Structure 1
Amino acid sequence: MTKREKRQQFILHEVSLHSRVLLTDLAHLLNVSIDTVRRDIKELDEAGKLKKVHGGAISIGFLYSTDNRKEIYAFESKTIIAQKAVKLIEPKSVALISGGTTNLEFVKHLPPKLSATFFTPSLPIAIELMAHPNIEVIFIGGRLSRDAQIAVGGSALNTLSGIKMDICFMGTGYLDPINGLTEFDWEVVQMKKAMINASKKIVSLTISEKLNSIQRYKICEIQSIDTLITELDGSAEVLKPYRDQNINIL
């Protein structure tokens, strides 16, 4: 395998794992120039393996589709997480939910007879929930981030400031027992902070491969998370630092 092929394989893995990546982060991780990464992403985009966006790339599986499961990274693990998360939803409950492919699988697994209300700033999540026969969907509107596919900005933040939910299902990009929940998109960080402030209980959904990873902007301390759901058994050794923080592990 050539150096270029190894770089592109690494880039595809990072994009698949985190759904969205920045050129600067990839250049740092690969120890190459941004121009080199930009060329690699251009080639991968032309090959239909990811989508090139301003300043980075997003995974094909992250692009909303009613039938894109074959493109979703770690689909089996996310299905397990979804099945665990569904058990936390009570009939007639009112919940807040962010975006992401794991959360999308979660809402796809909601029982058809479940009657509940979901608030969300995520366009893909809202569209998926609209297909559910007994779910009331309240979209938290604002300026839509083309890459993150969620509403951002003052209007959305103002809406969140006026509500208090019993539970919030938070999509997770980067999670670490010391640095907490982090992200690279400043506007998304502000939205997730507002969602946390608008909720009494925070549930973090993430595949285990994202554990112990860090990004530049902090969303919250690890202690702000009440429940962590992964595809692993709750007694797994990698989850010990999170158990030690008195987080409920599912």
Structure 2
Amino acid sequence: MPELLAAERRDLILEALRRERKLQAATLATRFGCSQDTIRRDLDQLAAEGLVKRVHGGALPLGGGDAPFAERRARQSPAKDAVARAAAALIPDDAVVLLDGGTTCLNVTRHLPAALRTTIFTTSPPVAEALASHPGVRVEMLGGQLNPRTLTTVGATTVAALGALRPDLCLLGPCGLHPEAGVTVGDPDERAVKAAMIAAAAETVALATSDKLGIVLPYVVAELTQLGRLVVELDAADPALGPYTDHGVVVVAA
């Protein structure tokens, strides 16, 4: 391969990262015919520009899953609706359920069976409002400071309220899921609340469209081993899901 300019090499690194979802410095050095120190400097530069997440020995992709709620709500998709429909079917009667914020969790409310009788706690005013018209759902709104980007409650009040609960099920809306980085989000206050949700619940089910897989955001919520199931629109045999099932996560194909 002809010698590349540094900018050209970094562009090729980003392209490879989009395809492969994980890159090792040693592998890149061999691929580009340069030293590992050169590749490390490239990765450090890309991380400084906010384009990759630097990890020991290489890099992982960053994601954009923490866009404002209104923007995400406008980007509805058949995949998101399929995930929401499958997740709604997992909510049992006579249970205590945590339903996270986010647009996929909001879509869950539209698919709840009319005969369902259960209690749902949520940090999301839009979710609570949507649930209010369901005749068999008792809605409990968790208080705290409203995050204007996510339209969910955050802060010490919210975390303390979650610590007093022992729900049967948590339906979690992760912003990023990665086999090594686990569940990640882009906001530290959201991280604390989602971590408290997982810690409180007997089982946590992640609701994620396939564009969330392989994505890493700055704040780590939990390891994959803390999830029980993953609802995703891919077929359960899809090779992209192998790294998740290897961590013991049961895939529910939407």
* TM-score exceeds 0.5: yes
TM-fit CA distance, 1:111: 1.0
Match of 1:229 in 2: 231
TM-fit CA distance, 1:61: 4.3
Same amino acid, percent of matched pairs: 32
Q: What's the TM-score once normalised by structure 2's chain length?
A: 0.72
Give the aligned CA root-mean-square deviation in angstroms. 2.0
Match of 2:92 in 1: 90
Q: Equivalents in 1 of 2:67, 2:180: separation in Å?
A: 28
Match of 1:72 in 2: 75
Q: Equivalents in 1 of 2:69, 2:145: separation in Å?
A: 22
Is 2:207–2:232's contact at 8 Å kept on the other side of the alignment? yes
Match of 1:158 in 2: 160
Structure 1: state its 5+ residue gaps.
1-24, 31-55, 64-70
What is the DSSP-based 3-state SS (H/G/I as helix, E as strand, rest coil) of the residue aligned with 2:51? helix
Change (3 A) 1:137 1:182: same
Deviation digits for residues 134-158 of structure 1 (CA, Å, limit 9, x no counterpart)? 1110000111111111111111111
Change (3 A) 1:146 1:111: same
Higher relative contact order (Cα pairs below 8 Å, separated by 6+ residues)? 2
TM-fit CA distance, 1:29: 3.5
Q: Equivalents in 2 of 1:98, 1:125: separation in Å?
A: 8
TM-fit CA distance, 1:87: 2.1
What is the DSSP-based 3-state SS (H/G/I as helix, E as strand, rest coil) of the residue aligned with 2:113? coil
Change (3 A) 1:57 1:205: closer
1:28 aligned residue (23, 39, 50): 50
Is 1:80–1:231's contact at 8 Å kept on the other side of the alignment? yes
What is the DSSP-based 3-state SS (H/G/I as helix, E as strand, rest coil) of the residue aligned with 1:28? coil
Match of 2:117 in 1: 115
Q: Equivalents in 2 of 1:236, 1:62: separation in Å?
A: 26
Is 2:69–2:151's contact at 8 Å kept on the other side of the alignment? no
Q: Equivalents in 2 of 1:218, 1:57: separation in Å?
A: 17
Task: Write out the 4+ residue segments of structure 1 that deviate beyond 6 Å after TM superposition.
Answer: none
What is the DSSP-based 3-state SS (H/G/I as helix, E as strand, rest coil) of the residue aligned with 2:240? helix
Change (3 A) 1:198 1:236: same
Letter in 1 for 2:68: I
Matches within 5 A, 1:1-250: 28-29=50-51, 58=68, 60-62=70-72, 71-73=74-76, 75-250=77-252
What is the DSSP-based 3-state SS (H/G/I as helix, E as strand, rest coil) of the residue aligned with 2:195? helix
Instruction: From the CA coordinates, give the structure whose radius of gyration is larger.
Output: 2
Letter in 1 for 2:78: E
Q: What's the TM-score once normalised by structure 1's chain length?
A: 0.73
TM-fit CA distance, 1:103: 0.8
